[in-house]
């Protein structure tokens, strides 16, 4: 515990010492990913020290040993509740470095999968928050909704949690037959589950009391600490990468950015609830407008062509061989590309020296700055308030610790 963070005067006056208590890493609310060292006066948190790093895997170093395309499975494990969004962020960063643009259909597919992943992330977050406030029933409702979303994603790429679906210059497979009908029926069920969840919690007095006015942060502080995503929007700042720096086809889509007022946990909850609806809206629009055409860049240097081409065209054959052995030769340079992850701005900063492997792959995890602001938010409130605040900040170990 750092000395500067201690409130000495209080203890001198009261002639008592704070009860120092370890919350985590194996604690039901921190589930192995983080540890809080709390100094409690009664139940009031006088002092908090957040220790992260329990899920550190050396992601950024690991990427330097992988071919450009081999990084995708690692990005899955950043925010594993919404892994396709990380795939997309990384792919866009590499494409920016190369200077290629994927075909129109691919953009639509990426948006659809990305929004489905965002929904899965929000379902997990909202459901888990309800669970940790004791509302197990609401949690199960959203787990069901998430399962259904995962079923759709599974029908596209075969994976449920870690999608590994996007590639440099395209995606691995086209949408399956009957995808649109499938999505329509799942969305119908999920809207029902959303309404049930909403009825159980949003106007529930107990839930309101737990969430309202707890964990609040002002918009100035939030910006200063580097908040992004739902937690920033809950403060009343309408910053969303999808609107601020549109990528893929977000500038052509009609959707709204829900914005809160007070920046407390309840607004964060409401923002996420509304984003679920907006994500469904985006997916439905995309499904309506999605054009035909190729899903991959038609250039064997960047995106591996079909096996037919590989066995019949000399150039495809060569690049297949070279890309498999040496990796895609991304031109030397550096690029930063941010996308709106489920938690906020997920940024990839890549450096290439023209070789087949990244020289540097740095991720800007959205929950890291928010976790660092946790002491600021939570000091002085009750131990019980730490639970909804921590849930709404949504520390994802994989993303924060990398």
Partner 1 sequence: MGIAEMIETIVKIGFIIGLTIGFFAPMLAWVERKQSAVMQDRIGANRADFFGFTVIGLLHSLADAIKLIFKEDFIPRGAERALHTLAPVIAVIPSLIAFAVIPFGGKYTLWGHEVNLVIADLDVGVLYVFAISSLATYGVVIAGWASNNNWSLLGGLRASAQMFSYEVAMGLTVIGLIMFYQSLSMVDIVAKQDNFFHWGIIWHWPAFVLFLACAVAENKRVPFDAPEAEAELVAGYFTEYSGMKFVMFWTAEFIEMVTIAGLCVALFFGGHHVPFITDAELAGGFSFLGPNVSNLVAMLIGVGVFIFKLVALLILQMTIRWTMPRFRYDQIMKLGWKMILPLSLTWIFIVGVGILTGVMPSP
Query: Using CA atoms, how far apart are residues 391 and 370, in angstroms rounded to an integer?
Result: 11
Please give the residue ranges that form the binding site for partner 1 (CB under 8 A). Answer: 19, 21, 27-29, 40, 43, 130-138, 140-141, 144, 200-201, 204, 206-207, 209-210, 382-387
- Minimum Å gap between C-beta 206 and partner 1 is 5
Q: Which residues contact 312 (CB under 8 A, 6 or more apart)?
A: none
| Cα 335 to Cα 21: distance, rounded to the nearest angstrom | 44
Q: Judge residue 188's burial from the number of C-beta atoms within 10 Å of its C-beta, 0-12 exposed, 13-18 middle, 19 or more buried.
A: exposed
Shortest CB 377 distance to partner 1, Å: 16
Sheet holding 345-352, edge to edge: 333-340, 345-352, 360-364
Q: What is the nearest approach in angstroms of partner 1 to the Cβ of residue 187? A: 18
Instruction: Give whichever of 45 and 111 is closer to partner 1, judged by the CB atom.
Output: 45
Min dist CB 21 to partner 1, Å, is 5
C-beta closer to partner 1: residue 238 or 380: 380
3 state SS of 79: coil
Shortest CB 141 distance to partner 1, Å: 7
With respect to partner 1, which residue has the nearer C-beta, 214 or 352? 214
Nearer to partner 1, 91 or 148 (CB): 148
CA-to-CA dists, residue 285 to 85, 90, 193, 282, angstroms = 19, 24, 21, 5
**Residue 142 Cβ vs partner 1, minimum distance, rounded to whole Å:** 11
Indicate the residue among 136 and 244 with the shorter CB distance to partner 1.
136
Of residues 38 and 241, the one with the C-beta less far from partner 1: 38
- Structure tokens belonging to residue 180: 């649109």
Burial of 382 (0-12, 13-18, 19+ CB in 10 A): middle
Structure tokens at 167: 């590639």
Q: How many of the other CB atoms lie within 10 Å of CB of 56?
A: 12
């Amino acid at each position: 515990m750092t000395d500067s963070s201690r409130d000495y005067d209080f203890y001198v006056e009261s002639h008592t010492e704070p009860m120092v208590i370890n919350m985590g890493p194996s604690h039901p609310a921190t589930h192995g990913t983080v540890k809080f060292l709390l100094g409690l006066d009664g139940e009031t948190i006088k002092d908090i020290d957040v220790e992260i790093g329990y899920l550190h895997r050396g992601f950024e170093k690991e990427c330097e040993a992988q071919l450009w395309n081999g990084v995708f499975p690692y990005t899955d494990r950043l925010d594993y509740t919404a892994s396709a969004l990380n795939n997309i962020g990384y792919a866009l960063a590499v494409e920016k470095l190369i200077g290629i643009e994927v075909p129109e259909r691919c953009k639509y597919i990426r948006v659809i999968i990305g929004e489905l992943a965002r929904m899965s992330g929000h379902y997990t977050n909202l459901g888990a928050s309800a669970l940790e406030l004791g509302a197990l029933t609401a949690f199960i409702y959203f787990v069901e909704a998430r399962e259904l979303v995962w079923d759709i994603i599974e029908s596209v790429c075969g994976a449920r949690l870690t999608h590994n679906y996007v590639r440099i210059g395209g995606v691995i497979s086209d949408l399956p037959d009957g995808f649109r009908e499938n999505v329509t029926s799942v969305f119908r069920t999920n809207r029902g589950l959303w309404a049930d969840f909403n009825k159980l919690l949003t106007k529930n007095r107990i839930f309101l009391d737990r969430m309202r006015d707890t964990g609040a942060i002002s918009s100035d502080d939030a910006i200063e600490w580097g908040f992004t995503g739902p937690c920033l929007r809950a403060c009343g700042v309408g910053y969303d990468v999808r609107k601020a720096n549109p990528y893929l086809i977000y500038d052509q889509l009609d959707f709204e950015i829900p914005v809160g007022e007070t920046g407390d946990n309840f607004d964060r909850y409401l923002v996420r609830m509304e984003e679920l609806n907006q994500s469904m809206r985006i997916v439905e629009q995309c499904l309506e407008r999605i054009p035909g055409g190729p899903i991959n860049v038609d250039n064997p240097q960047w995106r591996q062509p079909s096996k037919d081409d590989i066995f019949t065209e000399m150039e495809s054959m060569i690049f297949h061989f070279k890309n498999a052995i040496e990796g895609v030769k991304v031109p030397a340079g550096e690029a930063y590309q941010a996308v709106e992850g489920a938690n906020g701005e997920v940024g990839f900063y890549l450096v290439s020296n023209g070789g087949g492997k990244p020289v540097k792959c740095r991720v800007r995890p959205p929950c890291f700055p928010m976790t660092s602001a946790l002491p600021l938010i939570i000091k002085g409130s009750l131990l019980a308030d730490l639970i909804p605040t921590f849930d709404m900040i949504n520390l994802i170990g994989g993303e924060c610790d990398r």
